[in-house]
Chains A and B, each alone.
Chain A
């Protein structure tokens, strides 16, 4: 089946630094990728929709200057958490979709801890 690789799986960074998370579709072309944030024992909250070759579409309440999304190719989307603060600590997970009735294919997620 389709594989999405997300890296890193976990990262610890100091407050004020930036962190980049990569999401790659390994065996299919993903024109659209989605970035989610998840707090413990809660649902996935859609942050933004990443479209190859164009600007990402952010959900209401998500700061686009803080969560920079780049989708430069059909197989790679990146999420950069800029000037991270402890409240940005969370589980971030990306997904990509094929066409029509195919399900979302998820990366394994990135656990970000900001100290």
Chain B
């Protein structure tokens, strides 16, 4: 069975600094996709970044980058130059295979950016 572990229930970061949110996963599949989503207090889920299991390079999207270490089964999210609007809950998720299968979500990390 697939499992996603986010060990940081809450994190604080100073505005303009970088922060790393941890995510480890467990799967027996060779093909899988890893995703990070942001959920502000308003409730909507916002897709941030994707990493495929066969991707050799770490994914980057603007201020977001994914530190993918396949052997360690980790997919940490790095947010650079934190902004107050980054305060939200962040979920790491994994999809079975590479098709439109269901996703497994971690318990989430609440990030608070301090001014």
Contact = CB atoms under 8 A, between A and B. Distances in A.
B89 interface: yes
A43 B108 CA distance: 6
Nearest to A31: B100
Contacts, number: 58
A13 to B, nearest CB: 19
Contact of B105 (A43, A99, A100, A105): A43
Interface in B5-55: 33, 35, 37, 42-45, 47, 50, 52
Contacts of B89: 41
Interface in A89-107: 91, 93, 95, 97-106
Given A95-B45, A109-B44, A101 B33 contact: yes
Prevailing SS type, chain B contact patch: strand
Interface residues of B, number: 24
Interface residues of A, number: 25
B100 A43 contact: no
A54 interface: no
Nearest to B45: A106
A108 B43 contact: yes
Contact of B44 (A34, A42, A97, A108): A108
A101 B50 contact: yes
A81 to B, nearest CB: 18
A79 to B, nearest CB: 16
12 contacts: A31-B100, A41-B108, A43-B91, A93-B45, A100-B100, A101-B50, A103-B50, A104-B35, A104-B93, A105-B47, A106-B37, A108-B44
Q: Which 3 A-B pairs have the closest CB atoms?
A: A106-B45, A97-B100, A103-B47
Interface of B: 33, 35, 37, 42-45, 47, 50, 52, 89, 91, 93, 98-100, 102-108, 110
